[in-house]
Structure 1
Amino acid sequence: RTVTVDEALDDLVVWGHRPLAPVTLDPGDVDRLVEAARADRLVGVLAAAVDAGFVELPPGAARTVRTAHREALSAVLALDELLVAVADALDAVGIEHRLLKGAALAHLAHRRPADRLWGDLDVLVPAPDLDRAVDALAGLGITRRLPPLRAGYDRRFAKAVTLVDPDGREVDLHRTPAVGPYGLVADPAVWFAAPASSVDLGPRRVTTLDATGHLVAAAVHLALGDVTPRRGHRRDLLGLLGHRSLDPDAARSLADAAGLTVPFAAGVTAVADLLPDAGDGPAGGEPAHGATPAGRALVDWARTVEPTRRDRRLLAAYRSRSGRFGRQVRASLGVLSRRDRLAFVAAIVWPDRANLAARGLDRRRHLRRLLRGR
Structure 2
Amino acid sequence: MKFSLLSLLSLVAAANGDISATSDLGQSLLSSARRLNNDNNEADFTWMTNYSLKFQGCHADTSLQAGDNDAYIQTVKMAHFRLCPTNSCQTWLGSGCSSGYGDYVVDLQTFAKSYVQSQRRTREYECQLYQLASCDCQESDDRDDAFNRDYCEYDCYANSKMYQDCVDRNPYEEEQGGERQKRFEPERYMECRELEWESDDDNDVQYFIGPYCSQKGTEVYLGLYTDEYCTEFADSTNGRATYKTLTSSELPYSSTSLITNDCVSCIEVEDLNRRQEEQKDQNQDDMYGNDVEDADELSEQCERLYESSGKCEGSLAAMEGSANNNACSYILGQLQYTNANGVVHRKSTGSTTANVFIGVLAAAFVALGAVAFKLKKKLADAEENRSLGSNDSKEKALVDNEVKPVDEATAA
Query: So what's the TM-score if we normalise by structure 2?
Result: 0.24
Choose between structure 1 and 2: higher strand proportion.
2
Choose between structure 1 and 2: higher helix proportion.
1
Query: So what's the TM-score if we normalise by structure 1?
Result: 0.26
Structure with the bigger RCO (C-alpha within 8 Å, sep 6+) is 2
